[in-house]
């Protein structure tokens, strides 16, 4: 028998199966009410329009090119469309600032590859998107805690990183409808982050996966827009990477995301892509481009209406069914409600019990914390839940938590 551990690189020791991936299997069991997967509702996918776009691309003048290798930067008409879209949210850029990736997940990997040497430090919120931790972990970094508006001395980030044998390389955040907390960073928090990044001279990774999924409240300018405002609207002087994706709006299966940043670093990322997978799927970029041009706004309006309704239903059900001692966030958009259980209650044990007696699934919060803390938290997703699932599922969960409190 081959001794695999002996031949694995040291980075492999940090590669662990995600609890979410395992849980997604449960979605296939019909009697489970799942608030686990943070995925879009398949009923909202623009299937007919995607089918039509594939047919058009293949039978049209671009048919051959669609199936051919293409440039690593991405399909130019799609990059041009993104430039226009970005200008609507206060981000002025050119096509040379836009780079297409296979979902924003690939970009997180590339940013890790570009910036993190072993033992360098990444600043992340506590909790943070576990997929980002997974992507960065391959580069063997340390993590330090980003607490917006905290008055921690900037120099302490540098000192702590150098004690651990590296440098602070970037701050990563999900400013809109955070995964897993659902919380949105205020403008003051974004400015604070840019101040910190300027003081310690690091880039900011703005993961905007949920940016267009707002159901109520006022939108806040993207961090890149604020960075541009500080730099005379010259993107070449900015330090922020705006990471976008079509996964939450059109379809994650097409695997198309993008980054907007200064062109020097974009060129570097393009080199990484050349070495990694040459380019994102040519035909999928063309199809996304066509579909986006035709129905992006309409599609977003549809999603907002559906998820906005489910968010409201979930919050109402939480108000009705959660016992005292449980706290939760009230997100203005996105897909998630983040729950803090009574002190000492463990999210993972609660899940095991819930699957057994209540048939309700959710994600224990611990995996979202870089230091493995947060055992008494759970993430609930409302994106795929019907009204009845929400009412029944939250009632059952509330009952279980109340019973565990007494036990």
Residue 262 binds ligand PMP, judged by CB under 6 A: no
The gap from C-alpha 113 to its chain's centroid, in whole angstroms, comes to 18
Given the complex with ligand PMP, which of 110 and 157 has the nearer CB atom?
110
- Among the listed residues 293, 190, 194, 225, the one whose alpha carbon sits nearest the alpha carbon of residue 86: 225
Binding string, 165-204, against ligand PMP, x = CB under 6 A? ---------x----x-------------------------
Residue 382 binds ligand PMP, judged by CB under 6 A: no
Q: What angle is formed at CA 293 by the lines to CA 44 and CA 278, rounded to 5 degrees?
A: 90
Size of the site for ligand PMP (CB under 6 A): 14
Residue 74 binds ligand PMP, judged by CB under 6 A: no
Q: Using the rule CB under 6 A, which residue among 104, 262, 377, 381 binds ligand PMP?
A: 104
Given the complex with ligand PMP, which of 44 and 326 has the nearer CB atom?
44
With contact defined as beta carbons under 8 Å apart, do 381 and 335 qualify? yes
Q: Using the rule CB under 6 A, which residue among 103, 127, 141, 374 binds ligand PMP?
A: 103
Binding string, 35-54, against ligand PMP, x = CB under 6 A? ---x----------------
Q: Using the rule CB under 6 A, which residue among 77, 148, 154, 252 binds ligand PMP?
A: 252
194/74 Cα distance (integer angstroms): 29
* DSSP string across 152-193: --HHHHHHHHHHTTS-EEEEEE--SS-TTT-----HHHHHHH
Beta bridge partners of residue 363, listed in sequence order:
379
Given the complex with ligand PMP, which of 288 and 345 has the nearer CB atom?
288
> Could you give the strand order of the β-sheet that contains 336-340, starting from the edge strand earlier in sequence?
327-328, 336-340, 377-381, 363-364
Residue 131 binds ligand PMP, judged by CB under 6 A: yes
* DSSP string across 22-82: HHHGGGGSTT-EE-------GGGS-HHHHHHHHHHHHHSTTHHHHTS---TT--HHHHHHH
Given the complex with ligand PMP, which of 255 and 290 has the nearer CB atom?
255
Q: How far is the CB of 105 from ligand PMP (least distance, A)?
A: 3
Binding site for ligand PMP (CB under 6 A): 38, 103-105, 129, 131, 174, 179, 207, 209, 245, 247, 252, 257
């Amino acid at each position: 028998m081959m001794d695999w551990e002996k031949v694995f690189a040291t980075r492999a020791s940090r590669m662990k199966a995600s609890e979410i991936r395992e849980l997604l299997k449960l979605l296939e069991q019909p009697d489970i009410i799942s608030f686990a997967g943070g995925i879009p509702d398949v009923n909202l996918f623009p299937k007919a329009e995607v089918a039509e776009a594939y047919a058009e691309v293949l039978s049209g003048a671009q048919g051959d090119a669609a199936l051919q290798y293409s440039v690593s930067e991405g399909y130019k008409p799609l990059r041009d469309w993104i430039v226009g879209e970005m200008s609507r949210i206060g981000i002025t850029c050119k096509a040379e600032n836009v780079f297409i990736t296979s979902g924003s997940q690939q970009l997180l990997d590339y940013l890790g590859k570009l910036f993190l040497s072993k033992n360098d430090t990444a600043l992340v919120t506590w909790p943070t998107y576990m997929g980002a931790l997974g992507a960065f972990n391959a580069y063997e970094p340390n993590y330090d805690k980003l607490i917006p508006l905290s008055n921690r001395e900037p120099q302490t980030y540098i000192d702590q990183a150098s004690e651990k044998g590296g440098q602070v390389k970037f701050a990563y955040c999900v400013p809109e409808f955070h995964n897993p907390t659902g919380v949105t960073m205020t403008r003051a928090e974004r400015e604070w982050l840019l101040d910190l990044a300027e003081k310690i001279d690091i880039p900011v990774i703005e993961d905007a996966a949920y940016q267009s999924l707002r159901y109520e409240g006022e939108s806040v300018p993207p961090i890149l827009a604020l960075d541009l405002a500080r730099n005379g609207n010259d993107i070449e002087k900015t330090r922020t990477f705006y990471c976008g994706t079509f996964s939450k709006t059109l379809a994650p299966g097409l695997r198309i995301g993008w980054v907007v940043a200064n062109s020097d670093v974009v060129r570097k990322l393009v080199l990484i892509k050349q070495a990694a997978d040459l380019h994102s799927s040519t035909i999928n970029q063309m199809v996304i481009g066509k579909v986006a041009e035709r129905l992006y706004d309409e599609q977003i309006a549809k999603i907002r209406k559906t998820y906005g309704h489910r968010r409201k239903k979930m919050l109402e059900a939480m108000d009705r069914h959660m016992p005292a001692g449980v706290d939760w966030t009230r997100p203005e958009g996105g897909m998630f409600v983040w729950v803090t259980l009574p002190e000492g209650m463990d999210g993972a044990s609660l899940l095991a019990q819930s699957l057994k007696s209540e048939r309700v699934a959710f994600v224990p919060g611990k995996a979202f914390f870089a230091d493995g803390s947060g055992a008494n938290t759970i993430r609930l997703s409302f994106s795929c839940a019907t009204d009845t699932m929400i009412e029944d599922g939250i009632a059952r969960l509330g009952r279980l938590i109340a019973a565990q409190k007494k036990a």
